[in-house]
Amino acid sequence: MKVPVSGRLGDRSKFSGARLKGNSLLTVAFFGAGGEGSMAPLEAVAKHHEVIALVSPLQARSWIRGVVRRTLTRSGLGTLAAMAKWARRRDVPLINAVSGNEPSLAARLKQLAPDVICVSAFPWLLGSEILQTARRAALNVHPSLLPRHRGPNPFFWLYYNDDRRTGVTVHRMNEFADAGEILGQCAFDLPRGFAVDRLYAKNALCGAQLLVRVLEDLETGRSEPVAQDERLSTRAPRVARGTPAVNFAEWDVERVWHFLSGLCPRRREPLHDPDNREVRYASVLGFTRDDCHRAAGMVERASFGWNLFCRGGSIQLADARNAQRGDKR
């Protein structure tokens, strides 16, 4: 699938983020959840366009608050405080939403009439009534190379599927999750064992730059949408905490190490010792290739923590006392 490559940013140093009457800057309603995945794109957009509203998930005193907190924690999106602080500092209205289909939110946005809705690291799909309040486009920053890994948990699935290349996509939003036309992509190689927190930070910066470029293309009429190839689409649903994921029968030791090391400490594979006691490892030290003649998936106590035996070798897992010993390759 051919994806448009946006042109380089023009010289906008004379603008400080405030929109002047009569110029061609876009007005933006920005949806986010306050972590780096939201704040980096927000800051970048505000340097070139006028942000007229922020929308964040409501911290309600109900079951919703717990759901939102757990969703953001699993996604590594941080807290909502940064959004509120940014809105106060810039004197921009902060709108709290309880869902992506809220009629009152649609009514408020219809009054504001933004040129563009920009979404980055927001936990809910937006309904058609809300999307239609954007006069030019509703855009989403998604941390994968669409149509691969559509859904709320792309980081888990790119490690699970052993992807060697990943990136960020900016696409038009429609009523389906991450299925709209692609307006730009930024791709890069995923190093083996690369920490998911570092990947999240890299995606945030790439997404910020890409979103600004897509907005410039939209503003200047250079935008070239490309439909996603449905034959290449894969899903990235949430995975319940404690769900076993490693296929010890098929994955070799390097692949298991890449998966465990990349996602730790955000996610830890449920493991048990020969007495069926839970193995609480704190970090992944490294792996060793050898013919260990142990059953794949077996865990054995060691001085540094545990050895996890796999096809073609073993992985060294540290307990809390040895979590700072560093990598052992």
Q: Which of 28-37, 51-60, 67-76 has the lowest mean pLDDT?
A: 67-76
Cα(199)–Cα(214) distance, integer angstroms: 22
Residue 196 pLDDT > 90: yes
User: If pLDDT is split at 50, 70 and 90, which confidence band does 24 have?
Assistant: low
CA torsion sign for 132, 136, 140, 145 is positive
Mean pLDDT to the nearest integer, 124-144:
97
Cα(48)–Cα(25) distance, integer angstroms: 7
Predicted TM-score (pTM) of the model is 0.85
Residue 15 pLDDT > 70: no
In this predicted structure, what is the pLDDT of residue 293? 83
Query: What integer best gives the mean pLDDT of the chain?
Result: 87
Mean pLDDT to the nearest integer, 28-42:
96
| Domain ranges for the chain | 27-232, 253-322
Closest CA to 122 of 207, 19, 233: 207
In this predicted structure, what is the pLDDT of residue 326? 46
The answer regarding whether domain 27-232 maps to CATH 3.40.50.1580 reads no
